[in-house]
Amino acid sequence: MSDHNYTPKSKVGQWFNDRLPLLTLANHLTDYPTPKNLNYWWTFGGILTFCLITQIVTGLTLAMHYIAHADMAFESVEHIMRDVNYGWLIRYIHANGASMFFLAVYIHIFRSLFYGSYKSPREIIWILGIIIYLLMMAAAFMGYVLPWGQMSFWGATVITNLFSAIPLVGEGIVTWLWGGYSVDNPTLTRFFTLHYLIPFLILGLVVLHIWALHVPGNNNPVGIDIKKPSKDTVPFHPYIVIKDGFALLMFMIVFAFFVFYAPNILGHADNYIEANPMVTPAHIVPEWYLLPFYAILRSVPDKLLGVVAMLSAILILAVLPWLDTSKIRSAVFRPLYKQFYWILVADVLILGYVGAMPAEGLYLLIARVATAYYFLHFLVILPVLGFKEKTLPVPLSITEPVLGGSPNLAAARNKESKIE
Amino acid sequence: MSEKKTKRRDFLFTATTAVGAVGAAAVVWPMIDQMNPDASVKALASTEVDVSSLTPGNTLTVLWRGKPVFIRRRTKEEIDEARAVKMEDLIHPEKDEDRAKNPEWLVMLGVCTHLGCVPLNDKGDYNGWFCPCHGSHYDTSGRIRKGPAPWNMEVPKYEFVNANTIKIG
């Protein structure tokens, strides 16, 4: 931030900014120098901000009608759907909004994996992002419990029981989480409280995430350090604002399709049956965005180790900046990493698929192989690849490959200097 | 200042920190403990069940402390099968004699010890119970035989109040 000093033009603005530098902050949304080669994969930060605000606004309005009580929660959700003015719309936006939020965050995460955005000097941005992702999963899980349907109840039972895998104190922790001897009313009310709290924690972390981002500035598809401002950058407004806005519009079309044409396709029909502690649904599945981790949990035949594997699968991402030993950020210049990247994408999609299938026979075998590969990618392939891989030559600036248009660096540099 | 000597100021720092830590813990504990089961939840400790209508080979499921309890009136074959199992074949070795004092009656929490689902009756590879969530197989004594669950289904404290009534808890 130090490399671009801002002073407001008006006298009043200067007077105010000297006392509270709010306008300097606002300047980060206007003149802020941004790499000029950012592609559409970079628009998901803005889309995610939109998702968070959508969830908070629809969540607040739903909370005006929802009743967090085991005897009334299910009915109050039906009341929202049938009686409350536009209640159906607000609830469908909120429920599908969670899925859209995860869709966007997965694209955002895989963008970072492809272009090496987690590498030095952006490790803190990355770790903040992983914490946000963990909080998102907690919020989504607790939100899914609130309608108090069969999947709500049994999802809550299975997930809270994960803690019982902890030796000695596990059972005590589960009873403490439940506030009873099973998932019941005390569990519901505390989940509602936490579900309400977490989005605001996320909002705070998003501010830190963006703050940390604006210290080194955006990574870019070429993955090189750039000077800002320079001819490699454009002001955030209007260039990035318009691009983000257009991408957001496209995203909202997808969002609206789900809300208006297939509002329940991402949910589970069993959740329209009220919670019954006597009967477990024949086939319990979490929401789609948690399926890969669910597959990892089920692929390990030991209870404690299964939970450890599932948590490790998420937490391993936090140490990714130190597991990837390659100095080159962007996969564009890493021919081998690029292939392993796509294998990882396929691996996660396969895990998601088998996570939705019964844990037996061939599905279980596939889940085990895919789980093993997931850890192999992070713990073996990435560290070794940094030393073994022969990377392609990286351009010195963003402008160079554009103006040069040839892989020959000397020629490109020559041409560029002529234009100057 | 080079020599290290305990001074009056050091003592004050240590004492203040210690008192502060104890005070903070004393305030935090009620905030944590309020989440534990409250008095009204604990009050629902026991329940009585009439089992006179149960015929051999059938299971009654009742709710106790928010959890299902299986009361199974076992057939002769089921008892023989459960008692013939060798201890070394078990993941969590428990004698059927210890689990069902009265061999005809098996009373246990109908909660899978893996992640808490309710197993299905008369299913699975061991003719006992099968948990649909993650595939744990239990035998006719409710002992875990195959799958991710670590323990046998728990036998709660129970007693026959009279020939037809079981008191659980």
Residue type, A377: H
How high is the mean pLDDT of chain A? Answer: 92
Q: Percent of chain A beyond pLDDT 90?
A: 80
> CA-to-CA distance for A373 and B58, rounded, in angstroms?
46
| pLDDT of amino acid B46 | 83
| pLDDT of amino acid B135 | 83
Q: Which of A279, A303, A360 sits opposite B118 (nearest CB)?
A: A279
The position carrying tokens 């209640």 is A87
Q: Which residues of B touch A279 (CB under 8 A)?
A: 118
* A157 and B CB contact within 8 Å: yes
From A34, A111, A43, select the one nearest A248 (Cα to Cα).
A43
The C-alpha of B64 sits at a distance from chain A's nearest C-alpha, in angstroms, of 9
Task: Calculate helix-pair angle for A150-161, A123-145, nearest 10 degrees.
Answer: 130
Q: Which of B37, B117, B147 sits opposite A154 (nearest CB)?
A: B117
Count Cβ neighbours within 10 Å for each residue of B13-39 and write b for 16 or more, e otherwise.
eeeeeeeeeeeeeeeeeeeeeeebbee
From A309, A275, A401, A130, select the one nearest A412 (Cα to Cα).
A401
Cα atoms found within 13 Å of the Cα of residue A43, Cβ hemisphere only: 16
**pLDDT in 10s for each residue of chain B, 169 residues:** 556 777 889 999 999 999 999 999 999 999 999 999 999 888 877 888 998 888 898 999 998 888 899 999 999 899 998 898 888 889 999 998 899 988 899 999 999 998 888 999 888 889 899 988 888 899 999 999 988 888 999 999 999 888 889 999 8
Candidates B62, B134, B144, B146: best to mutate against A (most CBs of A within 10 A) is B134
Candidates A181, A190, A297: best to mutate against B (most CBs of B within 10 A) is A181
Task: Calculate helix-pair angle for A185-213, A44-63, nearest 10 degrees.
Answer: 150
Q: What phi, psi does A223 have (nearest 5°)? A: 75, 20
Q: What global pTM score does this model have?
A: 0.88
Mean pLDDT of the A120-127 span: 97
Q: Which residues of A touch B148 (CB under 8 A)?
A: 298, 300-303, 306
Whether A4 has a pLDDT exceeding 80, the answer reads no
pLDDT tens readout for residues A380-413: 999 999 999 999 999 888 887 666 554 555 555 5
| pLDDT of amino acid A413 | 55
| pLDDT of amino acid A363 | 94
- How are beta strands B165-168 and B158-162 bridged, if at all? antiparallel
Q: What phi, psi does A92 have (nearest 5°)? A: -65, -35
Residue type, B12: L
Q: Which residues of A touch B116 (CB under 8 A)?
A: 157-158, 160-161, 164
From A337, A341, A369, select the one nearest A354 (Cα to Cα).
A369
CB contact under 8 A, B67 and A301: no
Known catalytic residue at B134: yes
* A300 and B CB contact within 8 Å: yes
